[in-house]
Structure 1
Amino acid sequence: MTILDNFVGQKTIFRDSSCILGLSDADATISYDFGVSWNKVAEFKDYEPLFLERDPYYPQRAFVFMSGTQHFFTTDEGKTWQKFQIQPTPIGLWDSVDVSFNAVQKDLIILNIDRSPNPSSSLGAEKKVYYTKDGFRTDAKLVELDVDTCVFARSTPDFDSSVSPETIICTLKTMPKHPAGEGGQSNLIKTTDFFSSFEYIQHESLKDSETISLQVESAFIVVILSNPSVLVSKDAANFQKAEIDCDDGGISVLKSTPLSLRLSLTWRPPHFEHEKAALISDPTGLKFTRSEKKDPFSQSVSHNGVTFENFRVSEREHVTKYSVDDGRTWKSLEIIHDNFCKVEEGCSLHFDGRWPTLIQPGLLIASGINGKVYSKDYSGVYNQLSDENTYISRDGGASWKFAFSCASRVTRADQGNIIVAIPIPGYEDPVNQFHYSLDHGNSWLTYDLPEPLAALSVSTISNMPGTKIVISAQYKMTPKYIVYSVDFKGALRDVDTCAKAGGIEQMRGHKEQLFQMPNGQCLLKRTSGNYEQA
């Protein structure tokens, strides 16, 4: 147990590493032993850290953006830190930094800085874009063009591999003023040489229309326009208009796959607060179908090809369903071994933002409510957190079994061989213990904490590679922060590996072929991203 001086609001663990980095309002702390001991980052002594950004493609690298123009990055999991500058744009507490990483060349990075109006100063809102071609071994370079947002076409691993890694798409802040035939009317540009030259992207929809958003999702570049319409490109050269009716509606991009672009359409029809629909495309990203005729969902999550969504039934009620075919068909979440809640009678499991946690392929844990709907009262408050229970699924999310009373926050370690569920009985109740399972959720034991945790501030670090788990929270309603590092190494000593227990078995649940342990009584290991018998 460690008590830190300041509340840690942002933290991350470097992949397959024992190093955890945490940021508070005043300093940064780092642990090299899975949270057992902590030290302040000496290089940050005279700086105020604001934002922490991990590189999704280069797991040893992270960036810490400071208040001002001086910032830091590490390429060795926080062991050493290097400085770089962003001149002349200082970053403040009210600002945001959106990083566009390159999935192919790690030294190519774009920073989209959005300076928000500061209530305590005369500084107004502005946007600046910077880039580096050497991983910030030299200072960031300002894009001199009047750009609003820029992204690498190859900012996801799924995008067309024939496209140059240096291909950048940008939106301009204003429509350029030049005669027709000299670029036409377009505020969308493309460069392949870091702005030494560029070309205007031409499309009829770009005339007299503002760009609302520009992003790369899976294998698609998506441009949302104010007219309203959506342009899509799969090669960063040809942009085509998506065939969707989005009049009087707002559009946002959902998590997608290389074979299907997914959009959310929201509008305000008469006599109804909001309606939402999910639009799912064919492989071209141009032809869409609605996922269901109801008024669907506000949130979603996917694990191993299974998507969970909330569908709105009325202004104050929703139901949760799952899909195994990219949202084309939906089914209710069955609760097994419950004589009072039968799916054929319209009773099933429903979530409200506390989505399932993936423990191992096919093994999920979630907090929810059983019934016909998840409802909220007339004050606008949903079912109280204290009404929820914790459930476990061993077939990818098709069916669920009651685990224990009350909602919980779940984390895992050792490739999911260790599961820890921290009960959250209510927003104001202290957390005095946690439950843990060493047999993939078949049975649970309880561990009492020496010091209680404040429920609202409890957090964990997911997917720890070793046998330790880290739990942290505000300490006794003070500015201090308490961190528990619990090692389960001894508890796993007598558990057989899957090979000794008789191998792994195929499970049902969805179209992907996944495997799980017989009765959960053995351990798995992972090699090159795949789960295997230990």
Structure 2
Amino acid sequence: MRFRNLLGRGTAAPSHGEHAQRRPRRWLSGATATALATAAVIGTLAVCLSAAQGVAATASPSLSPRQHVTQAGQPTHKRHEFPATVTDYTWFHNSTNVLAHCLDGSIWLSSNEGLTWNALKDVGGDHGDGHALGVIPHRYSHDRAYLIGRGRRVWYTTDRGSNWGVFDAPDVPNSMGLNLLEFNPRNPDWLIWSGQYDCEHISSPNCRARAWYSTDGGNYWEKLDEYVKTCAWPHIEHFKENPQTIICESYKSKSGSQRSFTQANNPLELIVGDKFYKSKKKIFDNVVDFATFSEFILVGELLDKGTTLRMQVSLNGRDFTPPVFPPSMSPKSQADTVLESRTHALFLHHTTHPDKNLEWGALMKSNSNGSYYIVSQDFVNRNKQGFVDFDKTQSMEGIAFVNIVSNPESAAITRVKQLQTRVTHNDGGHWDLLDPPAHDLAGKPYGCVEKNCSLHLQSFTERPNPALSYTSPTAPGLILAVGNVGTKLDSWAHSDTFLSRDGGFLWEEVGKGAHMWEFGDQGNIIVMAVDSKPTRKVSYTLDHGKNWLEYDFGEELVVTGIATVPEDTHRKFMLFGLPPKFNAHRTVGIHLDFSHTEPRKCNLDLAHPENDDFELFSPSEHRKEDCLFGQQTYYLRRKRQAKCYVGQALPNPHEIRKKCPCTDVDFECEYNHARNASGICVQLPNTTPLPSDPYSQCKDGKTEQWFERTSVRRIPLSACEGGARPDRGRAHDCPNRLRLGHGVFWWGSILLAAVLLAGLLSFWWTQKMGSRGAGGNIRLPGSSSSGFSSGGPLSTLASVVPFLQGVGLIIFSKLFDLFESLPGLGRSGSRSREAFGYRSLSADADAEALNEYDDDEVDT
């Protein structure tokens, strides 16, 4: 589900779609509330239309020096004018239904991708008056959305807006900035509502937020807690977490007006409650915020009476440990920004220079369990709100862009930051300058001969609209960005528009000036409009930017955004804009339809690929083979010259051909190491390297050797096999392997054989003696009817058998205890679900200290 906030150019909208990049989480010490924002998917806005006319498409000399290409058909459009400014829209996943919300509170629904719009006059408000304060889409169930009014009544849909129901919330919506609704990732009817109580006036002495939960979609509510900042379901998709667990940030003191609370006069406690919060446990005494990612839970803990911040990390929400930073970098900070984690490692921006308007810091990267951190890139730019210049691609893992402060020493004096862009293609292991295009849009060389002359891109804090994304979830390798070629990043007004088709290795200029854009048909249609200037035209390409055409939609607008379905698979778009002179408070929506530009559907023939319209490409890492993270991965895309449309998402968009030998790009610096000017990982001054860890390498009982640590470690995302292994130092034999010398497994095998022999002998004797007795006879100890006299040889043997049985059981029990205590075999490290608190983590990247779970935990 795609949601965009359209009110204000400088604000970022919360991201709710599964393809949207997760919002960064900033933690600021003291009483500063954590802001929410997104580094999200492309586009912004919502659209509306009526009364259409087609306008001819023409070649765009300002966008391409190439000749005009005749197309099979031309786009069409239809116009709609809203009664007020459109503030946000919600586009349902895999659907043509769109909701638009206007500044006057009116709600509009389109069931045909914005071609026509109808006002929802019977929903919203307390009595169905057609107005709402806002629209909240369900984060996990993409058919659902909720209309929030001023009172307790909430209108909701479970079928993408076609039908609406209503429930009464237990309290009126809060005005304290808390999320009104929280959603359970597994049960769409499980809701948490955070309202406010006793807050009739701004000076009400006992005004407070109250959290409630419902398991039936809002029909019945039970109270969780009051005086809270956040209550939420843990949405940790891959963790074995009880689905009834709820995490709350709850103020310690439960009296007074919550509006007057600060972290200094009333600390926030982190409470984890099982059984719908009925079995509660306090985890931390004073926190700023918490965040859950696909592999980690992070908590910002306040120390030193709220003056410094320390992060805590967990893999299961039960056991937390502070991260271990290099000694040169204090784990305590005044601001940390937790960045998205999707690659088995955590990225964290740790502020090292907090001066106002001169903020920057170190981009830290963790090992696989989030415990040990290295500096992936220093001097990474951020702004005073805590947002960081960090952008990751949506369709290809491990590719990211940052802007760094290239003049940290002089910036402290001149008060001016000079920014440069860096790119990584191996998840932060290496960062490089971007190679500039060979020539500009007109075919002229850039005349750039300086050593650091490269392409620099406008990132999250520089873009007027932070929601504008570089990439599309269904167009692997395709990147659009605004920037310039030179020694440093220029202003937005002096930037141009650039395109890459291979994940950021090769670039070409595709537009003079800054543009906004949207991808369609899995990147095979790109629609652009000039940014911040009145225009009556859009530019579009049907061949990945090789040729561009212009389409006149009939009136001048200051375009505020372009959008399409969240999957970027359709050929219909919505353009939002404001008239430059009159009625500037009313949004005009233009429905753009490119369905007739390519009438033929592309042919995909995996059995005969030479005859179809697709090709396989692999992003290069400048190796002999096209490998990415140790795998030869090929992505499917339409051939650039093919005259057809793709339509719905491809069934297998990529394939892995084979594993690749390990090379230097599969490794990053180990803890307490950093790259020198030659790119070699060296130990930092006055530091101690981590000790080697034979246990984690030998724990499976099958590995023959363990290796000493070196200055590098393998990137968690890499799957390379063989080749160079600079992460392996001197080899040693594993102590728990079967050896010719009498090791523990050799003796264990001998003892186990004895136990089995005793058991077999006991079974044989029992069967033999049992076959001799009369049917139904029961032999008791000391019975004279046993068939032999006491004290004879048979009696002695009969007593030996149960003795051996007993000895066998005892030996087996002792062996079991022994095996349980051996590394990697037992459960000596296991813990109950109620064992909250801290645990030290193994230093190894594959440590399982945070990965152990009890058998009764629920799989996610």
> Quick check: TM above 0.5?
yes
Q: In structure 2, what is the equivalent of residue 357 of structure 1?
A: 471
Alignment of 1:84-233 (within 5 A): 84-92=167-175, 95-97=177-179, 99-112=181-194, 121-122=202-203, 126-136=208-218, 138-144=219-225, 146-153=227-234, 155-157=235-237, 159-160=238-239, 162-174=240-252, 187-201=269-283, 206=284, 210-227=286-303, 228-233=309-314
Q: In structure 2, what is the equivalent of residue 402 of structure 1?
A: 509
Q: In structure 1, what is the equivalent of residue 81 of structure 2?
A: 3
230 and 342 in structure 1: CA distance in 2 versus 1, 3 angstrom threshold: same
Selected match of 2:112 from 33, 47, 55: 33
| 1:78 maps onto 2:176 in alignment | no
248 and 505 in structure 1: CA distance in 2 versus 1, 3 angstrom threshold: closer
433 and 186 in structure 1: CA distance in 2 versus 1, 3 angstrom threshold: closer
2:247 is matched by which residue type in structure 1?
Answer: I
517 and 275 in structure 1: CA distance in 2 versus 1, 3 angstrom threshold: same
Runs of at least 5 residues in structure 2 that lack an aligned partner in the other structure:
1-78, 255-266, 304-308, 383-387, 408-415, 440-444, 464-468, 606-610, 622-627, 656-860
| 1:388 maps onto 2:464 in alignment | no
Q: In structure 2, what is the equivalent of residue 504 of structure 1?
A: 615
Runs of at least 5 residues in structure 1 that lack an aligned partner in the other structure:
177-184, 376-382
2:618 is matched by which residue type in structure 1?
Answer: M
Q: In structure 2, what is the equivalent of residue 50 of structure 1?
A: 133
Q: In structure 1, what is the equivalent of residue 706 of structure 2?
A: none
Q: In structure 1, what is the equivalent of residue 403 of structure 2?
A: 310
Q: In structure 1, what is the equivalent of residue 371 of structure 2?
A: 286
Structure 1 length as normaliser, TM-score? 0.85
1:393 is matched by which residue type in structure 2?
Answer: S
268 and 331 in structure 1: CA distance in 2 versus 1, 3 angstrom threshold: closer
| 1:253 maps onto 2:334 in alignment | no
Q: Return the alpha-carbon distance in structure 2 between the equivalents of residues 516 and 528 of structure 1.
A: 9
Q: Return the alpha-carbon distance in structure 2 between the equivalents of residues 252 and 89 of structure 1.
A: 32
Q: In structure 2, what is the equivalent of residue 12 of structure 1?
A: 90
1:210 is matched by which residue type in structure 2?
Answer: N
1:357 is matched by which residue type in structure 2?
Answer: T
Q: Return the alpha-carbon distance in structure 2 between the equivalents of residues 284 and 415 of structure 1.
A: 34
- Report which of the two has the higher share of helix: 2
For 1:75-124, what per-residue CA distance to the aligned partner results, in whole angstroms no more than 9, with x for missing partners? 100011122222233345x7442543222222223344589x99x94358
1:407 is matched by which residue type in structure 2?
Answer: A
Give the secondary structure class of the aligned counterpart of 1:332: coil
520 and 57 in structure 1: CA distance in 2 versus 1, 3 angstrom threshold: farther
164 and 372 in structure 1: CA distance in 2 versus 1, 3 angstrom threshold: same
| 1:466 maps onto 2:570 in alignment | yes
1:310 is matched by which residue type in structure 2?
Answer: N
Q: Return the alpha-carbon distance in structure 2 between the equivalents of residues 406 and 15 of structure 1.
A: 32
| 1:422 maps onto 2:533 in alignment | no
Selected match of 2:433 from 320, 332, 356: 332
Percent identity between the aligned chains? 23
295 and 465 in structure 1: CA distance in 2 versus 1, 3 angstrom threshold: closer
Give the secondary structure class of the aligned counterpart of 1:103: coil
Q: Say if 1:47 and 1:67, in contact at 8 Å, map to a contact too.
A: no
1:408 is matched by which residue type in structure 2?
Answer: H
The structure with higher relative contact order (CA 8 Å, sep 6+) is 2
Q: Say if 2:520 and 2:564, in contact at 8 Å, map to a contact too.
A: no
1:508 is matched by which residue type in structure 2?
Answer: P
- 1:130, distance to aligned residue in structure 2 (A): 2.7
21 and 451 in structure 1: CA distance in 2 versus 1, 3 angstrom threshold: same
Q: Return the alpha-carbon distance in structure 1 between the equivalents of residues 196 and 507 of structure 2.
A: 43
Higher Cα Rg, which structure: 2
Q: Say if 1:341 and 1:348, in contact at 8 Å, map to a contact too.
A: no
Alignment of 1:269-280 (within 5 A): 273-280=358-365
Give the secondary structure class of the aligned counterpart of 1:301: strand
Q: Return the alpha-carbon distance in structure 1 between the equivalents of residues 535 and 220 of structure 2.
A: 46
Q: Return the alpha-carbon distance in structure 2 between the equivalents of residues 239 and 319 of structure 1.
A: 36
- 1:530, distance to aligned residue in structure 2 (A): 4.4
Q: Return the alpha-carbon distance in structure 1 between the equivalents of residues 356 and 213 of structure 2.
A: 47
- 1:517, distance to aligned residue in structure 2 (A): 3.3
Structure 2 length as normaliser, TM-score? 0.54
149 and 420 in structure 1: CA distance in 2 versus 1, 3 angstrom threshold: same
Greater shift after overlay, 412-421 or 393-402? 412-421
For 1:273-330, what per-residue CA distance to the aligned partner results, in whole angstroms no more than 9, with x for missing partners? 3222221111111111111233445222211221111112233211111112222321
Q: Return the alpha-carbon distance in structure 2 between the equivalents of residues 257 and 430 of structure 1.
A: 39
Greater shift after overlay, 83-92 or 300-309? 83-92
Q: Return the alpha-carbon distance in structure 2 between the equivalents of residues 246 and 328 of structure 1.
A: 21
For 1:197-236, what per-residue CA distance to the aligned partner results, in whole angstroms no more than 9, with x for missing partners? 22233xxxx4xx5210112122111110111211111112
Q: Return the alpha-carbon distance in structure 2 between the equivalents of residues 527 and 465 of structure 1.
A: 7
